[in-house]
A and B are shown apart, each in its own frame.
Chain A
């Protein structure tokens, strides 16, 4: 149960289902971060964001489940 707030949306996003588009991953090798397109889907709407500065241990793709773990870690920064 989490509520997220992003500056581009004037409403809070409550208890969404989180997904990420694997094909949209971009690497920042010197920072050891990635960015990826993420959707947050609630009962009434779907919100799309570009999630930046996702810290990773290495830059190898280790599967969707692992990606979503990293995404959800980064999303903690937007919980209100």
Chain B
């Protein structure tokens, strides 16, 4: 007598994933029952620890592009964004672009597009609003990128690549996003989509 096993190809389990739960914000201090620090809603063990291994075989959310923690090129790979179907992951250049100098929205975008870091000579872009928010650790207070391995303690305004309209773009300052005129000077953080093949990132 044989056992029949049916595998569903649409609906239910076994289908290609189409999304993922949002990550935890990093806030772990509770100020009342039911707040973020109490519930810590979101994916992964905590802000820094995945609940499954990254391609390098550990649960570190952040590594450098070689899977280590030396960050020689100042590239921070965020494995919480790893798409193992497409084979892509988001990485950040943790240094404020333009040597930390502020500039207009257009100029900061141009600087990011021209960025070349190590062997990653193209593909860089100014972070959009969600890419900033994704990296911000809300558990450390106002300067939400000042945690290791980001260690970016630059204050002030940062352009995002996300616009409200032709004149205004979203800016990040500390923990908040707000609208700022594109001609105003602000800083920028660049990111890039990396292709993952085994443990090699290109």
Binding site for B on A (CB under 8 A): 8-11, 39, 45-49
Contact A10 B30 (CB under 8 A): no
Interface size band for B: under 10
Contact with A along B3-38 (1 / 0, CB 8 A): 000000000000000000000000011111100011
Interface residues of chain B, those whose CB is within 8 Å of chain A, are 28-33, 37-38
A10–B37 Cα distance when bound, in Å, is: 14
Residue of B nearest to A50 (CB): B31
Q: Hey, which chain A residues are within 8 Å of B31, CB to CB? A: 8, 47-49
Q: Which residue of B lies closest to A10 (CB)?
A: B33
| Residue of chain A at shortest CB distance from B139 | A46
A10 to chain B, nearest CB (A): 4
The 5 A-B residue pairs with the shortest CB-CB distance, nearest first, are A8-B32, A10-B33, A46-B29, A48-B29, A48-B31
**B29 close to A9 (CB less than 8 A):** no
Q: Is the CB of A39 within 8 A of B29?
A: yes
Residues of B close to A10: CB separation below 8 A: 33
